[in-house]
A and B are shown apart, each in its own frame.
Chain A
Amino acid sequence: AQSVTQLGSHVSVSEGALVLLRCNYSSSVPPYLFWYVQYPNQGLQLLLKYTTGATLVKGINGFEAEFKKSETSFHLTKPSAHMSDAAEYFCAVSDGTGRRALTFGSGTRLQVQP
């Protein structure tokens, strides 16, 4: 069984500040890990994903995440927040079989203060 824990349901940063959204996972097999973003009144969009290979993955809009197996973590970062980054972010894990697709975390709402 897989699970995802996102620490902090709400995160608030100032514009230009570092964004750090935390995600820890549990998986009995090598995981595939994902971050999705949901803007108000929209569906989710894939931000980035880790499957194999390089542990630091870059996504859209300047976001990146690092897979740390020893810490079972996949934290999302962005060096400098923009107002347009305000959204809800979901970490997700897949066992790679494709049958059940993804198990999502409970989400972190990012607020960006001017």
Chain B
Amino acid sequence: EAQVTQNPRYLITVTGKKLTVTCSQNMNHEYMSWYRQDPGLGLRQIYYSMNVEVTDKGDVPEGYKVSRKEKRNFPLILESPSPNQTSLYFCASSPPQGREKLFFGSGTQLSVL
């Protein structure tokens, strides 16, 4: 089944404790992206990747890192999480043709205490 898989689904952590949210897609998509969703703000793009080893900042990259060493994986790294990073995070991917048709993962609800 074609899908984008995020883990974990829920995560509670404390300020300053490094964490990684994993994202994997099995559709051989080149384009991958991370969004955060906050009430009243919709989805805002954090980082995106056009292909392996090619990443760029989105609208709200501060406090986040990403890497793209393989086509299928695009982890989101929070080196020193803060409470304002409490949010619902989505990973998405899309094929070369029709890049706007994003396939989304099920989301990761992160709480930073």
**A residues neighboring B (CB under 8 Å):** 4, 6, 9, 32, 34, 36, 41-46, 49, 90, 92, 94, 98-102, 104-107
Contacts and interface: CB of A to CB of B under 8 A. Distances in A.
Given A34-B100, A101-B99, 14 more contacts: A41-B107, A42-B106, A43-B106, A43-B107, A44-B43, A46-B101, A46-B102, A49-B101, A94-B100, A98-B100, A101-B45, A104-B42, A104-B44, A106-B42
Given A32-B100, A49-B100, A101 B48 contact: yes
B41 A43 contact: no
B58 interface: yes
Interface of B: 4, 31, 33, 35, 40-45, 48, 50, 56, 58, 90, 92, 94, 99-102, 104-107
A94 B94 CA distance: 14
Contact of B56 (A34, A44, A99): A99
A9 B45 contact: no
A80 to B, nearest CB: 27
Contacts of B106: 41-43
Given A9-B40, A43-B90, A44-B90, A102 B107 contact: no
A101 B90 CA distance: 14
Contacts of A46: 101-102
Nearest to B33: A101
A43 B33 CA distance: 13
Nearest to B101: A46
Nearest to B9: A41
B82 to A, nearest CB: 23
A99 B50 contact: yes
A60 to B, nearest CB: 13
